[in-house]
């Protein structure tokens, strides 16, 4: 991305869309990027209502209507590409993506994951952090590659795990951090400050550490 044009973004969701909302709110003050469309694989995702309220085009593509993962991803790519995105943002999109999809959007695909990657890839991250007696837990934004939750980390935010905290309480606290770091990473990308280089993520052309930029709230 250069800063000479608006960064077109497509956001993929499956649920509540609170990260989508955080990005919508942030971009309202940063017009160098705009969300062209929100795509959900679930018709009842509340994030679609958020998109509608913000005047953003919405698409629903039910993965169950497709014969296999590749057929769904191929149709998904067609919907996304109608909007010619510079960036595709996964915001609680709960689908495993095919290599065809991740390659198609290489270097312009971001995801947020509710753990301090590389710890706790996959699901149930908050309970797993508690079960592992982690002292710290948090969230990570990363570039998406073919490896599930394995692409170069851009930014992380951590909190100390409280004694006797439930997974729900921890999830809620991590969610609040997600709403801070995801808009920031998206803005960096839109401003042309963030990119995926050959050896990892670069911020202002400086290589980021493997755990990314450490956000202090
Ligand atoms: C977020 O906690 C996000 O980190 C997680 O889904 C939630 C979506 O919340 N994503 C993953 O677990 C992806 N592996 P939201 O719909 O309110 O933004």
pLDDT tens track for 143-166: 999 999 999 999 999 999 999 999
In sequence order, which residues have a C-beta less than 8 Å from that of residue 104 and are 6 or more positions away?
77
Residue closest by Cα to atom 6 of ligand 1: 92
What is the arithmetic mean of pLDDT over 13-31? Answer: 96
pLDDT at residue 5 in the model: 85
pLDDT at residue 32 in the model: 86
Helices 46-53 and 18-27 cross at an angle (nearest 10°) of 20
56 contacts 20 by C-beta, under 8 angstroms: no
Catalytic annotation on 113? yes
**Residue that has been written with the tokens 């050896």 in this structure:** 199
pLDDT-based confidence at residue 21 (cuts at 50, 70, 90): very high
Residue 168, pLDDT above cutoff 60 = yes
64 contacts 73 by C-beta, under 8 angstroms: no
Residue closest by Cα to atom 8 of ligand 1: 92
Q: Please state the atom number of ligand 1 nearest to the C-alpha of residue 171.
A: 2
Strand order, beta sheet including 153-160: 57-60, 33-40, 7-13, 87-90, 109-113, 136-143, 153-160, 213-215
Among 13, 89, 91, which residue has the most ligand 1 atoms within 8 Å of its CB, making it the best to mutate?
Answer: 91
Among 112, 119, 148, 174, which residue has the most ligand 1 atoms within 8 Å of its CB, making it the best to mutate?
Answer: 112
pLDDT at residue 3 in the model: 47
* pTM above threshold 0.95: yes
Residue ranges lining ligand 1, Cβ < 6 Å: 13, 15-19, 47, 91-92, 112-114, 139, 175, 178
The mean of the pLDDT values for the chain is 96
Share of the chain above pLDDT 70, in %: 98
The string of pLDDT tens digits covering residues 42-99 is: 999 999 999 999 999 999 999 999 999 999 999 999 999 999 999 999 999 999 999 9
Residue 2, pLDDT above cutoff 90 = no
Q: From ligand 1's centre to the CA of 15, what distance in Å?
A: 8
């Amino acid at each position: 991305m250069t800063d000479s044009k608006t960064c077109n973004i497509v956001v993929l969701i499956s649920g509540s869309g609170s990260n989508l909302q955080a990005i919508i709110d942030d971009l309202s003050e940063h017009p160098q990027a705009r969300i062209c469309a929100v795509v959900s694989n679930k018709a009842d995702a509340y994030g679609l209502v958020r998109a509608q309220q913000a005047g953003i085009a919405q698409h629903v593509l039910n993965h169950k209507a497709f014969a296999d993962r590749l057929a769904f991803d191929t149709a998904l790519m067609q919907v996304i590409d109608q909007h010619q995105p510079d960036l595709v943002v996964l915001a609680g999109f709960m689908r495993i993506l095919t290599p065809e999809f991740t390659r198609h959007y290489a270097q312009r695909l971001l995801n947020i994951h509710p753990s301090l990657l590389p710890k706790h890839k996959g699901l149930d991250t908050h309970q797993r952090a508690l079960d592992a007696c982690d002292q710290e837990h948090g969230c990570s934004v990363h570039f998406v590659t073919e490896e599930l939750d394995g692409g170069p980390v851009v930014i992380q935010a951590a909190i100390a795990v409280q004694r006797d905290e439930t997974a729900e309480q921890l999830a809620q606290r991590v969610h609040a951090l997600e709403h801070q770091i995801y808009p920031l990473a998206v803005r960096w990308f839109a401003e042309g400050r963030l990119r995926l280089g050959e050896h990892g993520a670069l911020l202002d052309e400086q290589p980021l550490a493997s755990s990314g930029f450490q956000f202090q709230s």
